[in-house]
Each structure stands twice: as C-alpha cells, then as structure tokens.
Amino acid sequence: MTMPIIGEYMGADSYLQFISVLIIFILVLVATYYVTKWISNYQKDVSFGKNVQIIETNKISATKYIQIVKIGNRYVAIAVSKDQITNLGDVDEQFLDLSGATDSNMGFKEIFEKIKGEKKK
C-alpha cells in the first residue's frame, strides 16, 4: 500500500481556506502594528511632560544612579536608588556639556540611525 501525496488531499476548498487564513493573518499583523503605534504615541504624550527632562544618567552600581534633571530652567543633580531619590543640589548650566545630551522624545528610528552612524566610524 502506498502513501498518498499530501497534495492529493487538498482540493480547491482547502486552497481557498489557506488563502483566507493567510489574508486574515496579514490583516491582524497590520492592525497590531497600527494599534501599537497609536498606543505608543498616546503614552508618549501622557508620560512626557514639557517641564521635566532627564539630561543625563550615570550608573553608580546595579541599583543606584546619578541623574541630571532639567526642571523648568533649573538643572538639578539627584541620586536615584531602588527605594529613594535624594537631591544632590543645583548645577549651573555653564558647567554642563549639553552637546551630547539626547532628546527624550527621539524615536526608535532616530536612535537606530545614530547608533548605525557611530558603528560605521
């Protein structure tokens, strides 16, 4: 007794079912892409304020960081740990090197292009 080839079992209905499932899958992927993009923009608008920006972060240990934060027109140095945030004091803008400061509103594409440009050098 010989085994029939799988294609012999598939009729025109099977091909139509496969094509319809493939189209539904593609539509779900497209819908997921646009919904994710919409949620991302919504959360960005909600979570990013106009008066508070993190200028720079430096890791001290696994759970401790020093950050320079711009609040309004003031620059403040803070220490951030797992359980608390400590104000270290104000920092004069003239002592800061703001040329390498990243924009917190940069998208993935801009960050990716920046990294790609640095690796080529």
Q: Which helix (H) or strand (E) holds 24?
A: helix 12-47
pLDDT of 22 reads 96
Entry pTM: 0.47
pLDDT of 116 reads 79
pLDDT of 50 reads 75
Q: Is the Cβ–Cβ distance between 89 and 104 less than 8 Å?
A: no
What one-letter code names the amino acid at 79? A
CA 63 to chain centre: 21
Q: Which helix (H) or strand (E) holds 85?
A: strand 85-91
* Domain spans in the chain, listed from the N-terminal domain onward: 9-47, 51-97
* pLDDT averages per 10-residue partition of the chain, 121 residues: 55 86 96 92 70 88 92 92 93 80 63 75 61
